Amino acid sequence: MHAAEENRHELDSVSVLNAKRTLLQLLGRAGVSADDAEGLIALVEAGALAGACEEVGALGGSVPGDKGEPYESGWLDGARAVTDELGGIAERALRQTVDPDGPSAASAARPPVGRMEVEQAKAAVTPLYLTFTAVSDLDPEVSEEVLRAVLATMTPRQRAGYAGRLAEFAAAHRARLERLYVEYGPASATAIHGRYSLLHSATSIAVLERLATPAATALREEWDAAELPPAWLDGPMRAWDAVG
C-alpha cells in the first residue's frame, strides 16, 4: 500500500449518517422542520459532489510526468470518465432535491415558495446589500413578502442556485449598483422619498436582479398578486435606468 493511502482517514458510512442525524436534531431544536433540514443538507451534499467533480476535472487535465502519448491519452480518457460519472451523480442528487417529481413537472409550473427558500434568499441578499450601503432606519421590513414574489418567478432549480445568480449580478453590475445606492440609497438626498423606499431594504438587490432580466414581467404579475405597493417596484426601476 502507498504511504499516502496508509495515512488517509476516510469517514465510514455509519459516521456520516450519525453526523447527519446530529445536524437534523440540532436544526430541529432551532425550529427547522425535518423536511426543510433534509432539503438544506441535500443541497449541500449535491454541491459537494459538484465541487468534487470540478476539482477532479481540473486535476485530471494535468497529466503527470512525460510518459508518452499512449499514457497521456489513457490518463485523459480515465479522468474524463471519472468526471462524467461524478457529474452525473451530482446532477441526480440535485434533481432529487429540487424536482423529485421529475423535470417535466418542475418546468410545467412554479410551485409555491417554501419557508426555507425564503430564508436562503434572505441569507444571500443581506451581505450583498451591505457591500453597497448601510442598514437603513427606513427599511420597510417586508423582506418575506418581497422575496416570495421574487422567488415565485423561478423554478425550484433556479431557486436553489439563486444565491450564485445574485452574486454574479452584483459582480457584473458593481459600478452601476454603487452609483444607484449613492444617489438613491439610505444616505442620499432622496432617502425620505417614498418612491425609493425599497432601496432601504436588502431585498432591493433581488428586485433589481429580476427587473434587469426577462423575468421582469413575471415579477410584476407576482407583485400585483401579493398586493405590494407598485411604487416599491417602479422606484428601483427608475433609479436603475437613471444610473445606467
pLDDT in tens, 37-71: 888 888 888 888 778 778 877 776 677 767 777 77
For 166, phi then psi, to 5°, come to -65, -40
Instruction: Name which residue leads in pLDDT, 183 or 57.
Output: 183
- The predicted structure's pLDDT at residue 77: 78
Query: Measured between alpha carbons, how far is 85 from 96 in angstroms, rounded to an integer?
Result: 17
Mean pLDDT of 96-102: 68
Mean pLDDT of 13-20: 82
> In the predicted model, is pLDDT for residue 106 greater than 60?
no
Secondary structure tally for the chain: helices H, strands E = 13, 0
Percent of the chain scoring above 90 in pLDDT? 38
- The predicted structure's pLDDT at residue 1: 46
Give the SS3 label for residue 192. coil
What is this structure's pTM?
Answer: 0.71
